């Protein structure tokens, strides 16, 4: 039996999280596994723009991952629109010192449950890069299954990556 993840909480981002956000988000490794909308270096101005962008969401779409009263990562669910309105994309990152402890799979499970309660979704999906094995393992531990591997669809920092599509469906009751 595996040990439970360390104590963490998910909560909406707050203005006073700015120092933690800038400290932990300014990591080239994190940025290298996310879309280009996540900058590196990550500046105070980037942090302010991020906090302002999501602070009035209702329901909340983006949560701080908090350990010992410090925001050390982020996880969000982004409902899609038009013909994809029954789907939401999941995105997340966690600061390096907190990885490998089961926090991300547990946070994914919590956010997926929240998403199915908050929106009329049928599916939550995530698109990790083909080389990002730790993200793939976290999704698998959280109950996601690999739906597709699209060869060479991503270019990030001059490297070509496969796009993997993992998903979980709303439980039927």
166 within a domain of the structure (yes/no): no
Average pLDDT, the chain: 95
- Confidence (pLDDT) at 55: 87
Q: Give the whole-number percent of the chain exceeding pLDDT 90.
A: 94
Q: Provide the residue range defining the domain that includes 106.
A: 9-123
Mean pLDDT of 16-29: 97
40 within a domain of the structure (yes/no): yes
Going by C-alpha positions, the residue among 67, 129, 60, 68 that lies closest to residue 104 is: 67
- Total domains in the chain come to 1
**Model pLDDT for residues 35-94, shown as the tens digit of each residue:** 999 999 999 999 999 999 998 899 999 999 999 999 999 999 999 999 999 999 999 999
CATH number of the domain where residue 26 is located: 3.40.630.30
**Model pLDDT for residues 118-137, shown as the tens digit of each residue:** 999 999 999 999 999 999 99
Torsion angle (degrees, nearest 10) of CA 56, 61, 67, 69: 10
């Amino acid at each position: 039996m595996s040990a439970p993840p360390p104590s963490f909480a998910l909560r909406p981002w707050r203005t006073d999280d700015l120092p933690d956000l800038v400290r932990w988000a300014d990591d080239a490794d994190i940025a290298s596994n996310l879309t280009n909308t996540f900058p590196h270096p990550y500046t105070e101005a980037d942090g302010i723009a991020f906090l302002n962008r999501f602070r009035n969401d209702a329901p909340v779409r983006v949560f701080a991952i908090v350990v010992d009263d410090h925001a050390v990562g982020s996880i969000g669910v982004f409902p899609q629109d038009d013909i994809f309105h029954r789907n939401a994309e999941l995105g997340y990152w966690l600061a390096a010192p907190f990885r490998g402890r089961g926090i991300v799979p547990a946070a994914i499970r919590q956010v997926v449950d929240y998403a199915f309660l908050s929106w009329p979704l049928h599916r939550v999906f995530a698109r990790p890069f083909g080389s990002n094995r730790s993200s793939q393992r976290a999704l698998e531990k959280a109950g996601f299954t690999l739906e597709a591997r699209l060869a060479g669809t991503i270019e990030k920092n001059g490297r070509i990556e496969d796009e993997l599509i993992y998903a979980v469906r709303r439980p039927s009751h």
